[in-house]
Amino acid sequence: MFLTFLTFLPIVGAIVVALLPKQQEGAIKQTALAFAAADFLLSLELWRSFDVTTHKMQFEFSTSWISSWGVNYHVGIDGISLLLYVMTTFLTMISIIASWGVTKHIREYMMAMLALSTGMLGVFISLDMFLFYVFWEFQLVPMYIIIGVWGGPRRIYAAVKFFLYTAVGSLLMLVAIIWIYFIVKEQTGVATTDLLYITEHLNVPLDIQKWLWMAFFLAFAIKVPMFPFHTWLPDAHVEAPTAGSVILAGVLLKMGTYGFFRFNLPLFPHASNEFVPFVAWLSVIGIVYGALVSLVQEDLKKLVAYSSVSHLGFVMLGTFAFNHYGMQGALLQNINHGVSTGALFLLVGMIYDRRHTRLISEFGGLSKQMPKYAICFMIVALSSIGLPGMNGFVGEFLILLGFFQVDGMITAIATSGVIFAACYILWMFQRVMFHELKNPKNMNLKDINARELITVVPLIVLIFWIGLYPKPFMKTFDASVSHLITKVDPDNFRPSKHKKHEHAALIGEAELAKLQKELQGK
């Protein structure tokens, strides 16, 4: 019940906010923040009492919902969803603080933010396909409204594009869910949409697995977004208000990568293995393509948006490595991207608030005028390019290490993303923060203020914490990833097992051990 309470607390907050009179803006903001903060703090308790030694669902709760269809309200959390859940409550809180300056329809804005939070949290805990689908569609609405009402000049186009893109993907997912429902009903005689039951009992031939896999893939790949389904993202980011961008990058995209972990891999392990080259190539193209297109952007937010395409390419690559390094790296990189890119959007939002433009050419030399801002920005920028000692490196390295075991060439291409990342971030940073302060409009810019610092500093702390001591984060993944690997291990689907270390040495492991024994004997 605790999980349910945590998940629905924000929407209760939304209702409370709705009851407040419109004029009391202060009270509205404070109430919203109180609910978000409470939710975050309580979710930390979830993390504290989480048992890292088991892959089993924890804080599980199940009750019948639509009994005639076999639909349950079944929620629970495991190592794959725990940190995403906590990050969602955390970023919701940060976003509400970052939205202090919103003036237009503040009450409705806060309601939308809180409702959005419940929608996202629901996605990460649903253990029933139908329930998952409901939450998945539900969170679209508040986000659509946030972009469409509080967005920039082309907000309607962006909001509709965002909505339709996602809806098209999720419709196919719905078809797949219904298909699975009937397959399971036929095979086991049990009519249910319970995910855990289905994961255990679903048994379909490879060709049908592939069709189902594709349907889920499309839904999640659009959300991630993977190349070439990414074009909704730059538009949505550019038009969304700052907090919207933070949530979009920090949480919404993660729903896509999470979907692969929860659906594609455990439900269709064989098909997943078949599609490794396909996903790997799309990811690598995304990594390089996103980075290159980022390089030439003129709008700061667009630059960050395309960089997300590149970063999420890494996450997908790690997910499909099917080993500990890659998958744990991918899960950690989910968090890292939320932290770093979230911080980048906050920082871009700050200068947008001051200057009402995001064009790189409008800036230059801000370091002199805003030294504290410059330090924050520099740290976040460096974390985004994966400097060792900061969060991004740990995730990226593990991902690359993981996929290196699968294919060295693809990994080499993916690693080149590290070079391009340095190019686009540093070049942007130089043009915005360095050089002479020439533009008279920038002469009187105020440095970062206390409220803004409150939003960024926790993220900076996380950047170093994860970078230097990622263990508390990593160990939550371990058991769940191990369990998942036993399902998707490529060796399960190979006729012989000798392939694994073929490039490692010219001889096999066993032979080598034998040889060493002989040598020692001599």
Shortest gap between Cβ of 117 and other proteins (angstroms)?
29
Structure tokens of 507?
Answer: 């001889």
Tell me the C-alpha distance between 423 and 488, whole Å: 36
Q: Which amino acid is at 464?
A: F
Tell me the C-alpha distance between 87 and 44, whole Å: 10
Which residue in the set 54, 64, 231, 486 belongs to the binding site for other proteins (CB under 8 A)? 231
- The structure tokens 């409705």 sit at 108
Tell me the C-alpha distance between 253 and 273, whole Å: 23
Structure tokens of 189?
Answer: 């005689």
Tell me phi and psi for residue 451, to 5 degrees. Answer: -60, -40
426 binds other proteins (CB under 8 A): yes
Closest by CA to 151, choosing from 288, 349, 332, is 349
171 binds other proteins (CB under 8 A): no
Tell me the C-alpha distance between 402 and 413, whole Å: 14
457 binds other proteins (CB under 8 A): no
412 binds other proteins (CB under 8 A): yes
The rounded Cα 438 to chain-centroid distance in angstroms is 38
446 binds other proteins (CB under 8 A): no
Please tell me whether residue 231 adopts helix, strand or coil conformation. Answer: coil
2 binds other proteins (CB under 8 A): no
Tell me the C-alpha distance between 474 and 329, whole Å: 8
434 binds other proteins (CB under 8 A): yes
| Other beta carbons less than 10 A from residue 415's beta carbon | 17
Task: Mark 363-392 with x for binding to other proteins (rule: CB under 8 A) and - for no binding.
Answer: --x-xx-------------x----xxx---
Task: Mark 34-73 with x for binding to other proteins (rule: CB under 8 A) and - for no binding.
Answer: ----------------------------------------
Q: How many residues bind other proteins (CB under 8 A)?
A: 66
Binding to other proteins in span 346-365, by CB under 8 A: 365
Which residue in the set 209, 340, 411, 455 belongs to the binding site for other proteins (CB under 8 A)? 411
497 binds other proteins (CB under 8 A): no
Sole window of 72-80, 89-97, 487-495, 512-520 interacting with other proteins (rule: CB under 8 A): 512-520
289 binds other proteins (CB under 8 A): yes
Query: Which of residues 356 and 522 has its CB atom nearest to other proteins in the complex?
Result: 522
| Other beta carbons less than 10 A from residue 41's beta carbon | 12
150 binds other proteins (CB under 8 A): no
Sole window of 236-244, 274-282, 319-327, 343-351 interacting with other proteins (rule: CB under 8 A): 319-327
Binding to other proteins in span 464-483, by CB under 8 A: 468-471, 474-475
Tell me the C-alpha distance between 76 and 474, whole Å: 20
Which residue in the set 27, 34, 41, 296 belongs to the binding site for other proteins (CB under 8 A)? 296
Closest by CA to 482, choosing from 325, 334, 333, is 325
- Cβ neighbors of 178 (< 8 A, separation 6 or more) are none
- The structure tokens 């190349």 sit at 227
Query: Left if phi > 0, otherwise alpha if psi is -120 to 50, otherwise beta: which for 439?
Result: beta
Which residue in the set 101, 228, 277, 472 belongs to the binding site for other proteins (CB under 8 A)? 228
436 binds other proteins (CB under 8 A): yes
Helical spans, DSSP H, in 1-81 = 2-19, 25-48
Which residue in the set 20, 141, 171, 292 belongs to the binding site for other proteins (CB under 8 A)? 292
Contact yes or no for 75/4 (Cβ under 8 A) = yes
Query: Which of residues 183 and 413 has its CB atom nearest to other proteins in the complex?
Result: 413
Shortest gap between Cβ of 246 and other proteins (angstroms)?
23
Structure tokens of 488?
Answer: 């998707």
319 binds other proteins (CB under 8 A): no
512 binds other proteins (CB under 8 A): yes
Which positions touch other proteins (CB under 8 A)? 161, 164-165, 228, 230-231, 289, 292-293, 295-297, 323-325, 328-329, 365, 367-368, 382, 387-389, 394, 397-398, 400-402, 404-405, 408, 411-412, 415-416, 418-419, 422-423, 426-427, 430, 433-437, 468-471, 474-475, 501, 503-507, 511-512, 515-516, 519
